Structure 1
Amino acid sequence: MQHLTEEQALTYLALKIADAQHGKQLNELEGEQLQEVMAQARRQYLLEEKVLASPESQQVCLPETTLDDAWLRIRGRYEEEQDFERALALVKLTPTAYRQALSRELRLEAVLEKVASQATPISDEDVARFYHRNLDKFTIPEKRRTRHLLITVDENRADAGELLVLQQMEAIRARLLKRPELFSQLTLQHSQCPTGVEGGQLGLVTPGLLFEALDQALFQMQAEELSPPLRSPLGYHLLYCEAIIPAESKTLEEARPKIIEHLQDKQRQQLQKRWMLQL
């Protein structure tokens, strides 16, 4: 059996880079894009050659079943065998060469996994330290269940257009103050936002999602409160705060599994990086 050539390995790497960075097939790239992808593939290839020449690589055995499973997953993306072969032919790869390149990639992953397995367990002190230094990461912000009604301003009518909209909004607001249950009906009749057909529902809103003036007003409102007319670049709005869902903070115990996973991933990556720098 022929061994994988350097050119074939570079093509395989370039295929993956083109897809990851540009969302394109390798044969769809040209000019500077293609040159940069091929240059990156060569840099990666040279580093991978060092990894494969390491003593750790000699200790790795890649089961044929692992390769078969990966091969079938990739092959399964194509309806017909001929479609797969045609796609490879466009970049001058044969199915045999592609399988060899895939085997090479899986061996590399196994070597790096072996290096990462030397990571020390994450201690309770590590978890607690990370939690207390990053409390903001474990806080779910306050939310407001919100509806709104929007009427746009006719810019061609200058101040008159603005005044007419304000008068209309005040009239609608007066009705809603007496009968807030009419919000959905009046929104359907008057709102010029697509949400009008859904009663003006904005759903659960967190700070920073709305225009600044609306955001500031909403998060100062009480539950079941109706705002005055509020100006935004779109026009005038009425906000109705249906309910307030208070901010929540995860406890240390609730956050523990995610913290351990994060710290383990970070430690494993650092081990792999340090190891490769020594090659």
Structure 2
Amino acid sequence: MSSIWNARILAIFSILMLCSCCLTKGSQRVLVRSKSWIITVDEFKNRLEEELSIIKGGDTDSFLKERKRQILEEIIEEKILLEEAKGLGITDGEGEEEFLRQIKEQYGEEFERHFPPSSDQLKRLKALAKRKAIIDKTVERLTANITPTESEIVEYYEKNKGEFVRPERVKLWQIVVRDKNRAKEIWRLLKKGEDFSHLARLYSAGPEGKQGGYMGFFSRGELPKELDEVAFKLPPGKISDVITSAYGYHILYVEKREPKGVVPLEEARHTIMKRLLEEKREIFITNWIKEKKDSLQVKIVEEEWERLLEDS
């Protein structure tokens, strides 16, 4: 639910950018009733108008009707979650400022142009960010006790091993310098038995020098061509000759080589847990919202809804 909500928020932000005056004034005809809240026809029309302003190539009658159904469902879900937030005493969330910062970075100078300080548009965006934070926190609270079991993790791994196939890779160390003569001198010291990590810390110009030259694991094609060709030919435990590239003069050391194969369960565990947790949360929230609709007696006013569906 949280990931879906994040996607909706980004879409709505684009809407705000494009619809500075899209809120309509009109009647308060009710489209959806519940024990706690209502959704008006105008509220629905505003959301629909906003979304259609950024949707291209989806103007067929069947598409429009389906999108209307989705929008109404989204509004209902948001109403239910915000109502639950009140019951849980959640009045703010986390990540509100981070969300605004990401939006500012994404849109750069356009942000200031569309959202001047103290403008109604900026106030609407901040309110949107606050609602997002509250909904995220509410979903987290509702799903706090959900976690994949060990048997579920193992079962997923066994059924989906194809997702965890890792290509051949090498565990690589590097010393890189700007001067060719310095590179040759370092190479001679290595041949005499000097410690690779020690020399990397002393001389390497790369950021990995501080870690003794350790670069990590690499698969074919992830390194510059000159280094890639050497790294996958070099026997484990050996150092390369001096290699010239656009970045300088390199000496590589391959600690070990791992053949193509399936990633062990322990290495895949974090990815599997994250995936299963998201799936379980989605299922839980979907069922929870369905139950809340029943308990809140959420009812669509069919006459208004049919009229909205037929409107082009």
TM-score, scaled to structure 1: 0.47
